[in-house]
Amino acid sequence: MKFSEVSFTCYPVTDLAESRSFYEDILGLTPAMNVDCNDDHGGWVEYELGPHTLAIGSAPGWEPSADGPSCGLEADDFDATIASLKEAEVTFKMEPFETPVCHMAMIFDPSGNVLIIHKRKPGHDG
């Protein structure tokens, strides 16, 4: 087997409208696609970030978890992003910290999923 890239990352959410408000109004993401399923199958929204797609969705039996995988969002301005998240009273799982190659923090979305806010240090671009 051989894979060329991660096609998309998708988080299960409990309330799609509330989660859209978080991802769009607080994180500033712009939806690229919205699929509204008017039955018991939920729906999803996709946000394109460079060559990658982050999606949120709801479906029966698909539950959010703070212990599941997490997606790292590369911030253009780490300090300003952290300040905006704090101003919006977003809950942090881990306050900002520094590693030899980056700065990062972990936050919760409204459904309890973990997102990583990340910024590579110069010279560590991928």
Mean pLDDT of 67-77: 90
In a domain, 1, yes or no: no
In a domain, 125, yes or no: no
**What is the length of the chain?**
126
Task: Dump pLDDT digits (tens) for 42-70.
Answer: 789 999 998 899 999 988 888 998 888 88
Which amino acid, 47? Y
Domain count, the chain: 1
Q: Please, which residues bridge with residue 29 across strands?
A: none
In a domain, 105, yes or no: yes
- Give this prediction's pTM: 0.85
Which amino acid, 112? G
- Give the pLDDT confidence score for residue 38 in this predicted structure: 61
In a domain, 59, yes or no: yes
In a domain, 47, yes or no: yes
Helices of type H across the chain = 16-20, 78-87
Would you say residue 36 has pLDDT above 80? no
Q: Give me the CATH number covering residue 61.
A: 3.10.180.10
In a domain, 34, yes or no: yes
In a domain, 90, yes or no: yes
- Give the pLDDT confidence score for residue 126 in this predicted structure: 60
Mean pLDDT of 87-91: 97
Would you say residue 119 has pLDDT above 80? yes
Q: In sequence order, which residues have a C-beta less than 8 Å from that of residue 102 and are 6 or more positions away?
A: 118, 119, 120, 121, 124
- Give the pLDDT confidence score for residue 20 in this predicted structure: 93
On average, the pLDDT of the chain sits at 90
In a domain, 4, yes or no: no
- For the chain, give the percent of residues with pLDDT over 70: 94
The whole domain housing 85 covers 9-120
